Amino acid sequence: MKSRLREFRQMRGLSQAELAEKLKVSRQTVNAIETEKYDPSLPLAFKIARLFRMKIEEIFDDQ
**Residues forming the site for another protein (CB under 8 A):** 17, 20-21, 24-29, 32, 37-38, 40-41, 44
Q: How far is the CB of 21 from another protein (least distance, A)?
A: 5
Crossing angle for the helix pair 16-23 and 27-34, to the nearest 10 degrees: 110
Which of residues 2 and 24 has its CB atom nearest to another protein in the complex? 24
* Closer residue to another protein (CB): 4 or 38: 38
Task: In angstroms, give the least distance from the CB of 32 to another protein.
Answer: 4
DSSP 33: H
Beta-bridge mates of residue 3: 60
From 29, 40, 47, select the one nearest 2 (Cα to Cα).
40
